[in-house]
C-alpha cells in the first residue's frame, strides 16, 4: 500500500505537474511525504537528511509543532481576509519583524514570496529617488518576476526587454577574483573601485538603487570580504542611491544571525525577506521599509498591492516561527553548529579530498566548491556533480547543488549527531566519486 503511494505520487507528478527551471521530459523527482526537523521521508518511511532545507528555506526545520499550531489556531479563527483591513495577526507579524530589524525601520509590506518582495523594493526605490537604474551583481539571484529576473545575474537572467533600467557589475569573489586580487582586503578594495567606476559611467544621478544579496546564496555563498558592504553603503550615501539588501535566502537565522547584514557595519534602506521568516510553511515574503522611504508614501499613493498581502495564515506562521526561534535559541544554535561542527568538519574534508577547491560559509550556509585541478581551479563538470549527488542521495541525504558546487544548507535546528552523519555521507560520496575518476 505505502509503496503504491510513492509510485502514484511520481506518476501524478510526471503526468500533470509542470516544474520550474526544467525540461519536463524524463524528470524523476524524489517523493517527500513527511518530515520533522532536519529529516524527511517518503510514504514508505525511507528517511533522508534534508541538507538542502528544500530550497534553502526550511530554517526552523520541518513540522515545527509551535508553527503548525499557530497556523491551526489561525485557521480555526479566520483563514482569509483582504489586504485593505486591519488584522491583529498581520499586525503582530509586522511588529515581530520590525522588532528584529535595526533602528530606523518603520513598516513591513507583505508579498507572496521573495521575487515580488524585490519587485516592490525596486519600485519603492525608484519612486523615492525619482531615478530609474538598478545596479545588481552578475552573481546573484533575485527571483522569477519582471524586474527581479532582469536584476538576477546568473544563468537565469532574462534579457532587458522584460524590464527597463538594469545594469550588472561584479561583486567580490576572491577564489575566482575578477580583479586579480590575492587577499580579501585587495578583493574588497578593487571590487569597490569597480563599482564606483560603474556608478560614474552610468551617471550617479540616474541610479535609484543597488540591489545586493548580503551573502550571495545560489551564486555560491560568497561571504563578502571585510570592508565591502560598508564600502557599498558609503558609495550609496555619496551618490544618494538606495541600498536594498536581499535577505531572502540569507536572512532569519541561516548565517547564525537574524539578518546576515548584522555581521557587517552596514544598515540598508530596504530589506527584502521571504523563505526563513516562516520557513515557507505558508508562502510569504516582504519588504522592510526605512523611516525615510516609508515617509515618501505618507501623502502619496504607493502604486502596488497583492490580494494575499499579509495573509492571515502566513502572518500566524511568521509570529509562531519568530517566537519559537527566539524562545529556543535557534539562531544561536545555527551559529554554534556552523562554527564548531559543520565548518571544521568541511575543512577537514577539504584536506582529504583533492576534488574540493574551497570551502566557505558560516552558520548553516556553506558551499563546497569542486575543481578538477586545485592549481588551475578548473570547475568540475555537470557529470561529476551529478555523480556526487547520486552518491549522496543513495546514502540518505538530500543535497543542494549549483554549478560546480554542493551547498551544505541544513535547517538551523540540525543536531550535532545529524551534522556528523551528514559529514560522513559527504566524505563517502566524495571518496566514491574520486575513486571513479581515477
Residues engaged in binding ligand PLP (CB under 6 A): 55, 113-115, 118, 141-143, 213, 217-218, 246, 248-249, 274, 285
Task: Compute the distance between CA of residue 245 and CA of residue 259 in angstroms, rounded to an integer.
Answer: 10
Burial class (CB in 10 A: 0-12, 13-18, 19+), 283: middle
Instruction: Give least dist CB 285 to ligand PLP, A.
Output: 6
The string of DSSP letters for 294-349 reads HHHTSSS------TTTT-HHHHHHHHHHHHHHHHTTHHHHHHHHIIIIIHHHHHHH
Listed residue (127, 161, 126, 162) closest to 144, CA to CA:
162
Instruction: Give least dist CB 281 to ligand PLP, A.
Output: 13
Q: Which is nearer to ligand PLP, 111 or 433 (CB)?
A: 111
Place of cell 518582495: 117
Q: Are 437 and 425 in contact (CB under 8 A)?
A: no
**Length reported for the chain:** 438
Q: Which is nearer to ligand PLP, 224 or 345 (CB)?
A: 224
Task: Give the cell for residue 141.
Answer: 539571484
Task: Compute the distance between CA of residue 297 and CA of residue 301 in angstroms, rounded to an integer.
Answer: 6
Measured from each CB, the residue nearest to ligand PLP is 114
Instruction: Give least dist CB 242 to ligand PLP, A.
Output: 17
Task: Give the cell for residue 316.
Answer: 500566524
The string of DSSP letters for 210-235 reads EEEESS-TTTT--PPPTTHHHHHHHH
Q: Which is nearer to ligand PLP, 228 or 365 (CB)?
A: 365
Instruction: Give least dist CB 246 to ligand PLP, A.
Output: 5
329: left (phi over 0), alpha (psi -120 to 50) or beta: left
Q: Which is nearer to ligand PLP, 113 or 399 (CB)?
A: 113
Q: Which is nearer to ligand PLP, 371 or 409 (CB)?
A: 409
Task: Compute the distance between CA of residue 294 and CA of residue 313 in angstroms, rounded to an integer.
Answer: 25
Torsion, Cα 11 15 16 21, to 10 degrees, reads: 100
Q: How many CB atoms lie within 10 A of CB 103?
A: 6
Q: Which is nearer to ligand PLP, 58 or 423 (CB)?
A: 58
Place of cell 522592510: 288
Instruction: Give least dist CB 284 to ligand PLP, A.
Output: 9
Listed residue (130, 179, 171) closest to 154, CA to CA:
171
Instruction: Give least dist CB 244 to ligand PLP, A.
Output: 11
Q: How many CB atoms lie within 10 A of CB 352?
A: 12
Instruction: Give least dist CB 282 to ligand PLP, A.
Output: 12
Task: Give the cell for residue 319.
Answer: 509570529
Instruction: Give least dist CB 144 to ligand PLP, A.
Output: 6
Instruction: Give least dist CB 118 to ligand PLP, A.
Output: 6
Instruction: Give least dist CB 141 to ligand PLP, A.
Output: 5
Amino acid at each position: 500500500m505505502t509503496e503504491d503511494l510513492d509510485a502514484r505520487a511520481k506518476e501524478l507528478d510526471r503526468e500533470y505537474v509542470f516544474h520550474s527551471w526544467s525540461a519536463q521530459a524524463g524528470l524523476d523527482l524524489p517523493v517527500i511525504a513527511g518530515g520533522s526537523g532536519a529529516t524527511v521521508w517518503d510514504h514508505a518511511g525511507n528517511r533522508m537528511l534534508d541538507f538542502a532545507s528544500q530550497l534553502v528555506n526550511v530554517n526552523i526545520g520541518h513540522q515545527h509543532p509551535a508553527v503548525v499550531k499557530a497556523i491551526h489556531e489561525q485557521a480555526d479563527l479566520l483563514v482569509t481576509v483582504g489586504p485593505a483591513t486591519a488584522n491583529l495577526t498581520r499586525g503582530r507579524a509586522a511588529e515581530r519583524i520590525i522588532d528584529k530589524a535595526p533602528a530606523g525601520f518603520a513598516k513591513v509590506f507583505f508579498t507572496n514570496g521573495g521575487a515580488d518582495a524585490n519587485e516592490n523594493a525596486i519600485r519603492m526605490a525608484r519612486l523615492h529617488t525619482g531615478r530609474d537604474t538598478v545596479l545588481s551583481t552578475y552573481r546573484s539571484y533575485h527571483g522569477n518576476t519582471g524586474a527581479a529576473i532582469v536584476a538576477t545575474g546568473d544563468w537565469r537572467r532574462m534579457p532587458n526587454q522584460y524590464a527597463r533600467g538594469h545594469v550588472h557589475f561584479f561583486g567580490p569573489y576572491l577564489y575566482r577574483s575578477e580583479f586579480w586580487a590575492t587577499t580579501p582586503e585587495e578583493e574588497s578594495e578593487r571590487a569597490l573601485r569597480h563599482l564606483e567606476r560603474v556608478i560614474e559611467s552610468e551617471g550617479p544621478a540616474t541610479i535609484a538603487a543597488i540591489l545586493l544579496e548580503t551573502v550571495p546564496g545560489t551564486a555560491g555563498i560568497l561571504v563578502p570580504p571585510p570592508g565591502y558592504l560598508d564600502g557599498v553603503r558609503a558609495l550609496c550615501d555619496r551618490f544618494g542611491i538606495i541600498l536594498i539588501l536581499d535577505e531572502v535566502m540569507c536572512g532569519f537565522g541561516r548565517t547564525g544571525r537574524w539578518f546576515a547584514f548584522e555581521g557587517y557595519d552596514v544598515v540598508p534602506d530596504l530589506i527584502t525577506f521571504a523563505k526563513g521568516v516562516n520557513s515557507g510553511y505558508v508562502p510569504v515574503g516582504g519588504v522592510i521599509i526605512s523611516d525615510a522611504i516609508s515617509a515618501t508614501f505618507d501623502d502619496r499613493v504607493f502604486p502596488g498591492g497583492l490580494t494575499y498581502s499579509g495573509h492571515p495564515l502566513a502572518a500566524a506562521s511568521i509570529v509562531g516561527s519568530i517566537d519559537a526561534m527566539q524562545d529556543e535559541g535557534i539562531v544561536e544554535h545555527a551559529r554554534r553548529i556552523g562554527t564548531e561542527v559543520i565548518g571544521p568538519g568541511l575543512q577537514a574534508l577539504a584536506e582529504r579530498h583533492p576534488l574540493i577547491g574551497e570551502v566557505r560559509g558560516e552558520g548553516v550556509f556553506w558551499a563546497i566548491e569542486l575543481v578538477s585541478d586545485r592549481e588551475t581551479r578548473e570547475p568540475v563538470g555537470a557529470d561529476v556533480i551529478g555523480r556526487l549527488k547520486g552518491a549522496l542521495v543513495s546514502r540518505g541525504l538530500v543535497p543542494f547543488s549549483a554549478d560546480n558546487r554542493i551547498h551544505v544548507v541544513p535547517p538551523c535546528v540540525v543536531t550535532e549527531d545529524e551534522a556528523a552523519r551528514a559529514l560522513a555521507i559527504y566524505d563517502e560520496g566524495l571518496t566514491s566519486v574520486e575513486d571513479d575518476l581515477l
